[in-house]
Amino acid sequence: MSQNFKKSKNKKQVKNKGKIHKDKDDEEIESFSDEDIADKIEGNDSSEEDLETPQEKRLRIAKEYISQIEQEEDHIEDDKTRFSVISNKLTEEMLEKSGKLQRYIANKYTLPTKDNIILKRGHKLTPTCAIISSDVKYIFSSSKDGIIIKWDLESMKRLGIIRPGNKKSDPVQNKKHKNQIIALALSFDNKFLASGGLDKIIHIWDPLSLEHIHSFKGHKNTISGLVFRHKSHQLFSASFDRFVKIWDLDLMSHVETLFGHQEAITDIDSFISERCVTSGGRDSAAHLWKIVEETQLVYRFPGCSVDRIRYINEDHFMTGTDEGTVSIWNIGKKKPLVTFNHRQNVYVIKDNDVLQNPFNKVSNLNEPWITALGVVYNSDLIAIGSSDSFISFWRCGPNYKTVSLLFSIPMPGFVNSLEFSRDGKYLVATVGMEHRLGRWKVLKNCRNKICLIKFF
């Protein structure tokens, strides 16, 4: 299951490397003054951090982190309560990094009422992706019309629009998408917004001002997925060209390219560790890329197209196929912990004046294709979107070995993306007449819309 993956370094790095070897004999010998030599002997040019041992450095970083948490919880007057809160927070973060954290919150979720479901139309063509900022203030949505819309989450009013460019060679127009936008990603600190699609270019935007910052070129086909590593500016991109590329947004540069998939990559996700997971569509495989170790793990699905993939926590992820099955995996096992059919009891819903069966006009029940996956990280709650026009919510059992259906919401159209807010209070979905990656089928009686569901 494990194997090395191939990497392609930046061409400039390769050229520079060759130049260093070529000019090695021509390098000048560095000269030092008497003062420089004295400084080096006395260690005057070294900082205190340079003189730290690895153990001392870890201890210093730990103290700084604990001090930061203490400042955040300084509003708690009682010392015992504050100590308990800090202790629980440190324990939770340790479990999160080890992949063993599973918060049981699914029982708190119930079928939403009419007032808690907001439907908005802003895109003329099929919406493909929507994401929520980590501070739970904004929503960013994209669509096949090449437009990115910024929404205020509470009021669902439009705050700004990034419009597509034309095909002229105007430098200003080159800083805009000229075709369908398939994927969006937002850094945890809300400093960078990334977008990509059919024009093979990744554009980086300022999420506050919506001004263009940078463009990355390198992919040779449609960009199907973008994701930032949690709490970092490391960006992963996936494409139909079968490559995964890594970008450093602090340096605005390409880092490396990963090879391994045999067919177009359809989805990508990342979490805390320097890793990412990808779904390979028709190559019937999901890949876990271990960047530091330069290895990959391959998880195979004979006869299926693996179209969607999401991390649940550091040790578990889930996949969705074109046959309507969803599997939950432990990264260290070759076989899934559990596999279930999305359509299992999915149409048993409670009475609700707004959530009645919508299929009097739309008949799409024979399409079980998993088109979207959503998760509240480190919890037992997952959401599944399908081309059968439903969003279903599921509770995972201990260690993700069992699942049970909570409820489902009729949502006519292709559910192209699902994204929970960090606090789990909101879910935003993009729903359209077409699948986000193509026009294999068009549901003419559906409407393109952004759906915001409030649970608490």
Report whether 316 contacts 302 (CB < 8 A).
Answer: no
Lowest-pLDDT choice from 8-17, 163-172, 351-360? 351-360
Residue 356 clears pLDDT 70, i.e. is over it:
no
User: What residues are paired with 278 via a beta bridge?
Assistant: 268, 287
Indicate the domain borders of the chain: 106-454
Cα separation, 104 vs 102, whole angstroms: 6
Buried b (16+ CB within 10 A) or exposed e, 309-326: bbbbbbbbbbbbbbebbb
Give residues with Cβ within 8 angstroms of 16, minimum separation 6: none
CA 353 to chain centre: 34
**Contact (CB, 8 A) for 66 and 86:** yes
Model confidence at 45: pLDDT above 80: no
pLDDT above 70 as % of the chain = 72
Q: How far apart are CA 452 and CA 136, in angstroms?
A: 12
Per-residue pLDDT reduced to its tens digit, 172-223 = 667 889 999 999 999 999 999 999 999 999 999 999 999 999 999 999 999 9
The CATH fold assigned to 106-454 is Methylamine Dehydrogenase; Chain H (2.130.10)
Q: Mean of the pLDDT values across residues 236-254?
A: 97
For residue 28, pLDDT over 50 is answered with: no
Q: Which residue is associated with the tokens 């040019």?
A: 45
pLDDT at 372 over 70: yes
- Of the candidates 414, 416, 412, 410, the one whose C-alpha atom is nearest the C-alpha of residue 393 is 410
d(CA 405, CA 53): 52
Poorest-pLDDT segment among 15-19, 84-88, 256-260, 431-435: 15-19
Asked if pLDDT for residue 400 goes beyond 60, the answer is yes
Burial label, 179 (beta-carbon count in 10 A; 0-12, 13-18, 19+): middle
The single-letter code of the amino acid at 98 is S
The answer to whether 329 and 314 are in contact (CB under 8 A) is: no
CA-CA-CA-CA torsion for 75, 77, 79, 85, nearest 10 degrees? Answer: -40
pLDDT in tens, 246-305: 999 999 999 999 999 999 999 999 999 999 999 999 999 999 999 999 999 999 988 889
pLDDT at 307: 95
Output the pLDDT for position 354: 38
Residue 389, CA distances (Å) to 6, 270, 279, 355, 443 in order: 39, 27, 22, 12, 10
